[in-house]
């Protein structure tokens, strides 16, 4: 079913596309931002009520239910924000958020209370203050640009951002996190690739994708263009109930990433954002999925299973433990004695 080529933003749009009841979408939209690109809408199998693409992007009334453990600021951004647009949690790296606008709004987003609202982009004074902060902190080796989606910036503003970071000598790595390559790949054009050019620092691009079917032909073409431009690609994935909570689905996703020059980087345990409980997979189940993946795919397909500790305490790996008290487990569940030292 082909739909209007405009981004879906209202209950009327989603209903016309055969994806949801208008009243449901409009009710959710009163609290959280709603948008879906026509490309992603085209990927949805409307005959499958459990379609994993639909589940990620079509509003659901369960989003309006908040469990006792969920938080408005699940990873503690606010406590580590010295100036607007900056989150400085680790000594050698910080987050820069130039805008809170996205091409598509994930229904499980950990910044869902903020994205798509009135404060979509830093103004000139806030922009200057953010770069002044980066320049004044020589310990900052890496700047991670997030959002919103940084690649939603107009090319001229994007180019200005890259040049400003390139001019700060202690910034060696610039890492951009984006859904654009899979959600709105037509934006990856010659103008954007020129805007992303760095003369001194090194750019990495982390591509967010949660299911192999997100890699449409236009997305694959965009990823090839990024790779040809010499930009190394990382993969970011969130473990989601009903989307990728099986070894088979994760295997297909990570194989697809690697086949498209993306190194799977993080498999995130879902943050405790309000209204996301219906997506949450228990940690123990995630660890078992990682055990299964160890024997199904090679090392280049293996991400780190990661938890962002609530309250701003940082990310830690929470993958399965294979070696305890002299017993090591193989990928098939077999137990073996292992001793790495001897009496002297």
- What average pLDDT does range 157-178 have in this prediction? 98
The pLDDT tens digits for 241-258 are: 999 999 999 999 999 999
Q: How far apart are CA 6 and CA 23, in angstroms?
A: 20
Evaluate if residue 1 carries a pLDDT over 90.
Answer: no
* Sign, Cα dihedral of 205, 208, 213, 218: negative
The CA distance from 81 to 87, in Å, is 4
- What pLDDT score does 342 carry? 62
pLDDT digits (tens, 9 = 90+) for 186-216: 999 999 999 999 999 999 999 999 999 999 9
pLDDT score at 118: 63
Q: Which CATH superfamily is domain 65-335 in?
A: Aldolase class I (3.20.20.70)
Give catalytic residue positions: 89-90, 93, 102, 106, 109, 111, 271, 308, 315
Q: Is pTM beyond 0.85 here?
A: yes
- Where are the domains positioned within the chain? 65-335
| For residues 260-276, average pLDDT | 97
Residue in this structure with the two tokens 């263009």, named with its chain if needed:
225
Task: Say whether pLDDT at 226 is over 50.
Answer: yes
Measured between alpha carbons, how far is 211 from 233 in angstroms, rounded to an integer? 17
Predicted pLDDT of residue 225: 98
**pLDDT at position 300 over 70:** yes
Residue 4's pLDDT band (cuts 50, 70, 90): very low
For residue 99, CA distances in Å to 9, 139, 147, 173, 285 come to 19, 24, 6, 20, 35
- Kindly indicate the confidence band of residue 340, based on its pLDDT and cuts at 50, 70 and 90: confident
Residue 51 in this model has a pLDDT that exceeds 80: yes
């Amino acid at each position: 079913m082909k739909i209007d080529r405009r981004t879906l933003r209202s209950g009327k749009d989603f209903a016309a596309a055969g994806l949801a009841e208008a009243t449901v979408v409009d009710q959710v939209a009163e609290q959280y931002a709603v948008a879906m690109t026509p490309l992603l809408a085209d990927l949805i199998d409307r005959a499958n009520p459990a379609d994993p693409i639909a589940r990620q992007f079509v509003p659901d009334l369960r989003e309006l239910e908040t469990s006792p453990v969920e938080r408005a600021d699940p990873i503690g951004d606010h406590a580590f924000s010295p100036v607007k647009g900056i989150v400085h949690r680790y000594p050698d790296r910080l987050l820069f958020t130039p805008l809170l606008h996205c091409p598509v709004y994930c229904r499980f987003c950990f910044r869902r209370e903020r994205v798509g609202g009135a404060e979509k982009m830093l103004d000139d004074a806030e922009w200057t203050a953010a770069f002044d902060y980066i320049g004044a902190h020589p310990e900052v080796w890496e700047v991670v640009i997030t959002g919103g989606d940084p690649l939603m910036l107009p090319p001229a503003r994007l180019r200005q951002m890259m040049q400003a970071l390139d001019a700060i000598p202690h910034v060696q790595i610039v890492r951009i996190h984006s859904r654009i390559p899979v959600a709105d790949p037509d934006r990856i054009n010659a103008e954007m690739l020129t805007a992303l050019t760095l003369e001194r620092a090194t750019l990495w691009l982390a591509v967010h994708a949660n299911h192999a079917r997100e890699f449409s032909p236009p997305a694959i073409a965009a990823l090839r263009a990024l790779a040809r431009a010499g930009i190394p690609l990382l993969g970011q994935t969130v473990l989601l109930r009903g989307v990728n909570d099986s070894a088979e689905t994760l295997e297909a996703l990570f194989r697809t990433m690697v086949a498209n020059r993306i190194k799977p980087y993080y498999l995130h345990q879902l943050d405790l954002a309000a209204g996301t409980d219906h997506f949450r997979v228990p940690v123990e189940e995630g660890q078992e999925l990682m055990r299964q993946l160890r024997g199904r795919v090679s090392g280049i397909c293996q991400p780190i299973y990661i938890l962002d500790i609530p309250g701003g305490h940082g990310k830690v790996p929470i993958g399965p433990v294979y070696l305890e008290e002299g017993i090591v487990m193989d990928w098939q569940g077999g137990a073996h004695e292992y001793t790495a030292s001897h009496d002297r």
